[in-house]
Amino acid sequence: MDLKQYTHADAPDVRSWLLDIHDEVYADDRDPFYSRERFSHYVDLWSGREDWLCISGWEDGGAVGYAYGSKFKPGGWWKGADRPKGVRGRILALSELMVVPQWQGTGRAKQIHDALVNAVEADYVTLLVDSAHPKVQALYEKWGYMKTAEAKSSDDSPLYSVMVRTL
């Protein structure tokens, strides 16, 4: 798999492609929370950060998926949750990790994840996982994450497991 890296400066050029992958991943989900319009807000929010970083994977001439995030500013944390005691310093917020259905379950997600995490100087990495998907949470636990809390970022969002990994 070929990996490519994008920064905040590249965001306008990759925005449409990020949204297209999202649409493919959520093609069967009719919940308005997962709509392209709603997701585009989050893409713009995260990619608007100067330290935003995105890693994409490519194989056989097509997209495999991507991961992106940025560091929390000092004192920052996920909306709707308290930062765990002892989690201080440089914290990477992994906002999205998406792999197109064709490549799910092939280990490509971990390769993309690891490339993003290894490209950032951080003491911790944290992410949110929809609590309705225990298999996804279990996968992150295999990757060294620990659930520290639950959070609901908005009235219409799912309940998320807040997960943290020490780097």
100-136 residue pLDDT tens: 999 999 999 999 999 999 999 999 999 999 999 999 9
What whole-number distance in Å separates Cα of residue 82 and Cα of residue 25? Answer: 30
Per-residue pLDDT band at 154 (split at 50, 70, 90) = confident
pLDDT in tens, 83-110: 999 999 999 999 999 999 999 999 999 9
Asked whether residue 153 carries a pLDDT value surpassing 90, the answer given is no
Query: Is the separation of the CB atoms in 46 and 68 below 8 Å?
Result: yes
Domains of the chain by range and CATH? 2-166 (3.40.630.30)
- Contacts of 128-131 with CB under 8 Å at 24 or more apart are 128/78, 128/153, 128/160, 128/161, 128/162, 128/163, 129/160, 129/161, 129/163, 130/158, 130/159, 130/160, 130/161, 131/158, 131/159, 131/160, 131/161
For 132, residues 6+ apart whose C-beta sits below 8 A from its C-beta are 158, 159
Output the pLDDT for position 119.
Answer: 98
Tell me the pairing of strands 91-99 and 124-130: parallel
Output the pLDDT for position 155.
Answer: 87
Q: Which residue bears the tokens 């990495």?
A: 125
Per-residue pLDDT band at 78 (split at 50, 70, 90) = very high
Output the pLDDT for position 115.
Answer: 98
Mean pLDDT, the chain, rounded, equals: 96
What are the helix and strand counts (H, E) for the chain?
Answer: 4, 7
Phi, psi values for residue 85, rounded to 5°: -60, 140
In the predicted model, what is the mean pLDDT of residues 36-41? 95
